[in-house]
Amino acid sequence: MQNIGVVPKQASIVLAILATAALPRVPLHAAGASSADAATLVALGREAFFDPSLSASGRMACATCHSPAHAYGPANGLAVQLGGPGMDRQGTRAVPSLRYTLNRTPIWSKEFVASAAERILEGEEPPTGGFGWDGRFNSLRDQAVFPLLAPNEMANASREAVVAKLQRATYAGDFRKAFGAQIFDDPRMAFAALLAALERFQLDDLSFHPFSSKYDAYLDGKATLTPQERRGLALFDDRKRGNCATCHLDRKGADGSHPIFTDYQFEALGVPRNPELAANAAPGYFDMGLCGPLRTDQANQMKFCGLFKTPTLRNVAARRVFFHNGRFHTLKEALRFYVRRDTDPQLWYPVSPTGTIAKFDDLPARLRRNVDVIDEPLTRRKGAPPVWTDAEIDDVIAFLKTLTDRDVEMASR
Amino acid sequence: MPNPLKRLAAALLAVVATISASGVALAGEHDSRVPTAAAYVKHVFIIILENKSFSSTFGTSTQDPYLQQTLVPSGALLTEYYGTGHVSLDNYISLMSGQSPTQDTDNDCLPGFTGTIGNYNDVNQTGWAAQGQVVAQGGCIYAKDVPNLPKQLDGARLTWRGYMQDMGNDPARESATCGHPTIGIGTDNTNSGEAPSAAVPLGDQYATRHDPFMYFHSIIDDQAYCNEHVVNLNVLPADLKDERTTPNLVFITPNLCNDGHDGNGTGDPGTTCVNGQPGGLTSADAFLKAWVPQITSSPAFKKDGLLIITFDESNYTENVSVNSATGQEVVDITFPGQTCCDEQPGPNLAGIRPGTFTLLNTPTLEEQIVINGYGGDQIGAVLLSPFIKPGSTSSTPYNHYALLKSIEDIFHLDHIGYAADDARTHYRLNTIGEDEDVFLPGPGIGFSHSSGHEFTSGAKPPWF
């Protein structure tokens, strides 16, 4: 059906946002109309994604941190990864999985309900979407620039430096075929072409969304959950206790599509400060997510400080690092934090000699009120019983293991 | 021309109609019900916008020049048109069925506030009250036997469709036809807009709570029927091409941005819709500018159409004060809740309306919502039609129940719910088809509050 009226206008605005005005349009047909179609872009993007020669160290590819065998998440249990020219510079945030979320991540937005009454009555929605823990990128093209140039990641000095490496890559000829023989004559265009290829690969390649977990088979009626897994699912869904499914959506979509286990919304959990991060040695350093320091455009929004985007839980049981700062290294520990954050805060936060607990210590004191104390299971008082026993946590873990894709499960054996 | 005998006859018939206020129409009543040229209307188009006060929409706002400066002079402005409640959903339901709110529909089915069921769940009906009102203990989806306008149209072999902008843009969020959450599943994910993504380039700002058809089992339980009747707005242009494909009732709900619900219309950072559009009356005005000409140039409208543009409810006033005893800043968001037209609260609002709801009470801040009545306050409406006197104004009071009654009159249907008069309580609604201030003369004599309405020859309709 042809769209008319305001629809095309919206579409053009949205597409402009998604395509990123800051980057030049790539002459996809410069070297022949059929050579730079989506499949070609995917193939080129795959080459680049796995190519360590695109880094200053020559040892770091996108896939170094985003390992396909680990659901495009980290292959190790480091809180944050090492990069830079000497592969010795620490990052500041745990590496997220790239599986499942990329196609459906909305652009970063904060819905503004015009009526204050409805905002209050119906609950103000938190910000949503964007790529990265702080949602600061609205497209994968934008996002890819960051690791390519970040001094503690692939550490290229400039876009031109990236293109110079790309020009020497084994697949440089394929780039010329796709984008024209002179593509490398214009580093700006060549860099944009690289970003387009990386984006297309991550959006289209089936390895990013295989839907091959036991839970997928269960949703299709091709597998049954064990009693323990069923108990775990019930605990996961129970709004009065675990309440996990409110943010980590676990039901089929209206069209029967399988859930991604995130609502892409931002949340302040009050995860404890992680001493494993070198940056945290500075007492005045705080990674506050939405309000900075990496993200800068919301720096004045104090109510956004401490909020990070909800990750998918698919393949979570295969991870060895949890939350934005990698504070926890086992799933059981991460779940215990959820259910005992408030009942046993001394387990997680520093306790002064006088017995004062510095709850939510990874935020400046004045901003700790941003942490969620409204939604279950984050409402409990100190000393109250946690919503789950250790045995129930094991049940939930059993359920979460059903979210592991078949290839990830095989690779971990 | 005015004829005293005709006026007397019409008045007598009106009395008879009042006596028959059980909801059963009398044979031949129609002509008396619609004495103006509204009697010739065969296609009714409705566009519902969100949450704006009459004084702003048709007065102080600079965000809606198309509505104020183009549509109002081209049509009729009903200055005393009122919403029937706060907040949104109850207004849509009153317009579609004449039902007053349940403890949940009065608050968009947010659970645990004024109702105990909430979300997308069935009305817990415990009985019936006068004028076909459902007595309920909360809930939102009405049982199959609750009358509504769509089913009335079916019964009269008339056609209808609901056109919902964005519905199904994200097929995982809701279906592109008859889109609603699974009953009983909990949170309605259509309560907030979805921003664009690679998979959903236009985003999805459809809201079930602005789609009244989804709250009647008589519609949603027959999937094929519902799919046929409640569709995405992008179907409308094709339906408008031919009179035969244009439903008798065209009900249009823009998305959360274009109905003015989201965004404040300025486009300032932090005040926009999820897709970055300004929202508010700015986006609503752009929507009207894009869609109204398509409607008014359609064969069905040009022949016998009537377009009604109105809002669900009015806005609030915000008062900030300091509690001298506690030192707290007190923010009162107040809805007057004014009614018109002898509106009744219905059987379910005891203890809820009027009401004051404290939502936040900290040592420094107290936020409360004050709803001083059960009405929806003054919103206004614009009518466009070949049968309307361009630039006319009527101060006759109307509300959503009155509009339902008006549509029922136009289509020769019974009156249901609070659209039906009740002689016992002297409850009788005005209907727009009687309003000679705005409609050209028709087969009978209606009422007029203006002194005389002799038309110049140029303004006379062809049949005059």
Q: What is the pLDDT of residue A16?
A: 39
Mark which residues 114-133 of A lie under 8 Å from B by CB: 114-118, 120-123, 125, 128-129
Query: In CATH, what class is B40-194+202-314+376-417?
Result: alpha beta
Contact B235, B163 (CB under 8 A): yes
Q: What is the pLDDT of residue B11?
A: 40
Contact check, Cβ <8 Å, B198/A203 = yes
Residue B89 has pLDDT above 80, yes or no: yes
A361 is written with which tokens? Answer: 């210590």
**Type of residue numbered A278:** A
Residue B457 has pLDDT above 60, yes or no: no
Helix (H, G, I), strand (E, B) or coil at A299: coil
Q: What is the pLDDT of residue B364?
A: 80
Q: Name every chain A residue with its beta carbon within 8 A of the beta carbon of B201.
A: 11, 14-15, 18
Question: Where do you find CATH 3.40.720.10 in chain B?
Answer: 40-194+202-314+376-417
The H or E element containing residue B252 is: strand B249-253
Q: What is the pLDDT of residue B185?
A: 79
Q: Is B297 on the interface with A (CB under 8 A)?
A: no
Quote the longest CA-to-CA distance of chain B: 70
Length of chain A, please? 413
Contact check, Cβ <8 Å, A239/B263 = no
CATH, domain range A19-208 = 1.10.760.10
The residue among A25 and B397 whose pLDDT is bigger is B397
The residue among B32 and B452 whose pLDDT is bigger is B32
Q: Please tell me whether the peptide bond between A377 and the residue prior to it is cis, using omega within 30 degrees of 0.
A: yes
Q: What is the pLDDT of residue B51?
A: 95
How far apart are alpha carbons A19 and A139 in whole angstroms? Answer: 7
Helix (H, G, I), strand (E, B) or coil at B310: strand
Share of chain B above pLDDT 90, in %: 75
Q: Name every chain B residue with its beta carbon within 8 A of the beta carbon of A1.
A: 234-235, 237-238
Closest chain B residue by Cα to residue A252:
B172
Q: Is A110 on the interface with B (CB under 8 A)?
A: yes
DSSP letter for B47, please: E
Query: pLDDT of A104-147, one tens digit each?
Result: 999 999 999 888 777 776 667 899 999 999 999 999 999 999 99
**Lowest-pLDDT range of A20-29, B18-27, B300-309:** B18-27
Mutation for testing the B interface, residue in A41, A104, A118 having most B CBs under 10 Å: A118
Q: Is A87 exposed, middle or buried (0-12, 13-18, 19+ CB in 10 A)?
A: middle
Phi–psi pair at B312, nearest 5 degrees = -75, -45
Angle between helices A172-179 and A187-204 (to 10 degrees): 100
Q: Which of A115, A203, A249 sits opposite B316 (nearest CB)?
A: A115
Q: Is A14 on the interface with B (CB under 8 A)?
A: yes
Q: Which of A116, A123, A129 sits opposite B318 (nearest CB)?
A: A116
Q: Name every chain B residue with its beta carbon within 8 A of the beta carbon of A144.
A: none
The H or E element containing residue B161 is: strand B160-164
The mean per-residue pLDDT over the stretch A242-256 comes to 95
Mutation for testing the A interface, residue in B191, B192, B291, B352 having most A CBs under 10 Å: B192
ipTM: 0.90
Residue B99 has pLDDT above 60, yes or no: yes
**Lowest-pLDDT range of B17-31, B64-78, B255-269, B272-286:** B17-31
Phi–psi pair at A278, nearest 5 degrees = -60, -35
Q: Which of A105, A113, A254 sits opposite B197 (nearest CB)?
A: A105
Q: Which of B197, B202, B237 sits opposite A4 (nearest CB)?
A: B237
Q: Is B159 on the interface with A (CB under 8 A)?
A: no
The mean per-residue pLDDT over the stretch A365-369 comes to 96
The mean per-residue pLDDT over the stretch B221-243 comes to 98
Q: Name every chain A residue with its beta carbon within 8 A of the beta carbon of B292.
A: none
Q: What is the pLDDT of residue B2?
A: 37
CA dihedral B439, B445, B448, B453 (to 10 degrees): 70
The mean per-residue pLDDT over the stretch B280-295 comes to 98
Q: Name every chain A residue with its beta carbon within 8 A of the beta carbon of B271.
A: 112
Contact A134, A294 (CB under 8 A): yes
The residue among A260 and B357 whose pLDDT is bigger is A260
A214-412 homologous superfamily: Cytochrome c-like domain (1.10.760.10)
Helix (H, G, I), strand (E, B) or coil at A70: helix
Q: What is the pLDDT of residue A5?
A: 30
CA distances in angstroms from A413 to A76, A228, A332, A409, listed in the order given: 15, 22, 20, 7
Q: Name every chain B residue with its beta carbon within 8 A of the beta carbon of A246.
A: 187
How far apart are alpha carbons A341 and A358 in whole angstroms? Answer: 12
Contact check, Cβ <8 Å, A107/B197 = yes
Q: What is the pLDDT of residue B449?
A: 56
Asked if the domains at A19-208 and A214-412 fall in one CATH topology, the answer is yes
How far apart are alpha carbons B35 and B235 in whole angstroms? Answer: 34
The mean per-residue pLDDT over the stretch B178-185 comes to 92
Helix (H, G, I), strand (E, B) or coil at A250: coil
Q: What is the pLDDT of residue B368?
A: 86
Length of chain B, please? 464
Query: pLDDT of B427-443, one tens digit each?
Result: 999 999 999 999 999 88
The mean per-residue pLDDT over the stretch A266-273 comes to 98
Closest chain B residue by Cα to residue A102:
B198
Residue A10 has pLDDT above 60, yes or no: no
Q: Name every chain A residue with its beta carbon within 8 A of the beta carbon of B109.
A: none
Helix (H, G, I), strand (E, B) or coil at A247: coil
CA distances in angstroms from B415 to B145, B158, B431, listed in the order given: 15, 16, 12
Q: What is the pLDDT of residue B32?
A: 66
Residue A20 has pLDDT above 80, yes or no: no
- pTM recorded for the entire structure: 0.89
Bridge partners (DSSP) of residue B398 are: B81
Q: What is the pLDDT of residue B22?
A: 35
The mean per-residue pLDDT over the stretch B93-110 comes to 95
B91 is written with which tokens? Answer: 């207004």
Residue A78 has pLDDT above 60, yes or no: yes
Residue B25 has pLDDT above 60, yes or no: no
Share of chain B above pLDDT 70, in %: 89
Q: What is the pLDDT of residue B27?
A: 37
Residue with tokens 């995130």: A262
The residue among A412 and A87 whose pLDDT is bigger is A87
A62 is written with which tokens? Answer: 């996108």
The mean per-residue pLDDT over the stretch A253-269 comes to 96
Residue A1 has pLDDT above 90, yes or no: no
Contact check, Cβ <8 Å, A118/B359 = no
Q: Is A101 on the interface with B (CB under 8 A)?
A: no
Q: Is A170 on the interface with B (CB under 8 A)?
A: no
Bridge partners (DSSP) of residue B374 are: none
Contact B44, B407 (CB under 8 A): yes
How far apart are alpha carbons A175 and A172 in whole angstroms? Answer: 5
Q: Delimit the domains of chain A by residue range.
A: 19-208, 214-412
Q: What is the pLDDT of residue B358?
A: 83
Closest chain A residue by Cα to residue B118:
A122
The mean per-residue pLDDT over the stretch A156-174 comes to 98
Q: What is the pLDDT of residue A247?
A: 95
Residue A97 has pLDDT above 60, yes or no: yes
Q: Is A352 on the interface with B (CB under 8 A)?
A: no
Q: What is the pLDDT of residue A28?
A: 45
Q: What is the pLDDT of residue B8?
A: 38
How far apart are alpha carbons B355 and B335 in whole angstroms? Answer: 10
Residue B16 has pLDDT above 50, yes or no: no
Q: Which of B88, B78, B76, B77 is nearest to B52 (CA)?
A: B88
How far apart are alpha carbons B380 and B384 in whole angstroms? Answer: 14
Q: Which of B86, B185, B276 sits opposite A13 (nearest CB)?
A: B276
Q: Is B107 on the interface with A (CB under 8 A)?
A: yes
A404 is written with which tokens? Answer: 């592991």
Contact B87, B315 (CB under 8 A): no
Q: Which of B115, B110, B78, B108 is nearest to B93 (CA)?
A: B108
Contact check, Cβ <8 Å, A109/B186 = no
Q: Which of B455, B340, B345, B337 is nearest to B395 (CA)?
A: B340
A362 is written with which tokens? Answer: 């990874």
Q: Which of B86, B172, B203 sits opposite A254 (nearest CB)?
A: B172
The H or E element containing residue A145 is: helix A140-149
Q: What is the mean pLDDT of chain A?
A: 91
How far B5 CA sits from the closest chain A CA (Å)?
49
